């Protein structure tokens, strides 16, 4: 019997069996529905852009509320932002902006007045080289002293 480097010896409830090593960036997950009780699963990777920002922004001008370095060797799966607006604002926009190449990668409009997880949706125009990405916000309507609050930015990637 040939056993590969990284194999794991597991008991399936009846006998010992060999779970071959996972490929790529995976982690071992215990799963009773699997024949061996264990499986390899792609590792979920994410980071948070540290921010506790309350911005007063004009109607048409985006303000940067967070930024991070994009590594061209990764694939961004999602960007989720905990944010809200004050009640007298009509709506607000959040976007992911590639500051290095001056391109909008994702943009969405929201109307929530309490903290909510807002997803920027599908990304496009992803650069092929490293870049600086900014999370930007702007309000649509309302008086100048009304604010958009961004509390947390989470980026999930491969």
- In this structure, what CATH number is given to the domain that contains residue 153? 2.60.120.660
Same domain, 70 and 121: yes
Q: What is the DSSP letter of 102?
A: T
Which residue range(s) make up the domain with 15? Answer: 8-42
Q: Is residue 3 part of a domain?
A: no
Q: Which residue has the tokens 């109607």?
A: 59
Instruction: Give the residues across from 40 on adjacent strands.
Output: 28
Same domain, 71 and 135: yes
Considering the entire predicted model, what is its pTM? 0.69
11 membership: H or E segment, kind and range: strand 8-11
Q: Is residue 114 part of a domain?
A: yes
What span, in angstroms and rounded, lies between the C-alpha atoms of 51 and 30?
34
Residue 126, phi then psi, degrees to nearest 5: -65, 130
Same domain, 30 and 55: no
Nearest in space to 72 (alpha carbons), one of 4, 140, 158, 145: 158
Same domain, 82 and 15: no
Q: Is residue 73 part of a domain?
A: yes
Q: Domains in the chain: how many in total?
A: 2
pLDDT for res 60: 62
Per-residue pLDDT of the chain (158 residues; tens, 9 = 90+): 678 888 888 888 889 888 888 887 777 888 888 888 888 887 665 556 655 455 555 556 898 888 888 988 788 888 999 999 988 888 999 999 999 999 999 999 999 999 999 999 999 999 999 999 999 999 888 777 788 888 888 888 76
Q: Is residue 1 part of a domain?
A: no
Please count the CA atoms within 13 angstroms of the CA of 124 that sit on its side-chain side: 4
48 membership: H or E segment, kind and range: strand 45-49
What span, in angstroms and rounded, lies between the C-alpha atoms of 58 and 8?
58
Same domain, 92 and 147: yes
CB within 8 A of 122, min separation 6: which ones? 106
Same domain, 17 and 94: no
The full length of the chain comes to 158
Same domain, 82 and 132: yes
Q: Is residue 2 part of a domain?
A: no
Nearest in space to 56 (alpha carbons), one of 155, 139, 140: 139
* Number of Cβ within a 10 Å radius of residue 56: 13
């Amino acid at each position: 019997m040939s056993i590969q480097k990284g194999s794991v010896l597991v008991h399936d409830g009846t006998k010992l069996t060999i779970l071959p090593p996972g490929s790529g960036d995976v982690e071992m997950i215990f799963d009773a529905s699997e024949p061996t009780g264990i499986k390899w699963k792609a590792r979920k990777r994410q980071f948070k852009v540290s921010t506790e920002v309350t911005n007063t922004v004009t109607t048409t001008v985006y303000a940067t509320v967070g930024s991070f370095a994009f590594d061209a060797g990764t694939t961004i799966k999602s960007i989720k932002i905990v944010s809200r607006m004050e009640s007298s604002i009509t709506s607000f926009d959040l976007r992911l902006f590639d500051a290095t190449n001056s391109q909008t990668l994702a943009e969405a409009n929201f109307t929530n007045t309490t903290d909510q997880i807002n997803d920027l949706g599908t990304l496009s125009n992803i650069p092929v080289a490293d870049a600086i990405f900014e999370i930007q916000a702007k309000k649509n309507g309302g008086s100048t002293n009304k604010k958009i609050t961004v509390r947390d930015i989470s980026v999930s990637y491969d």
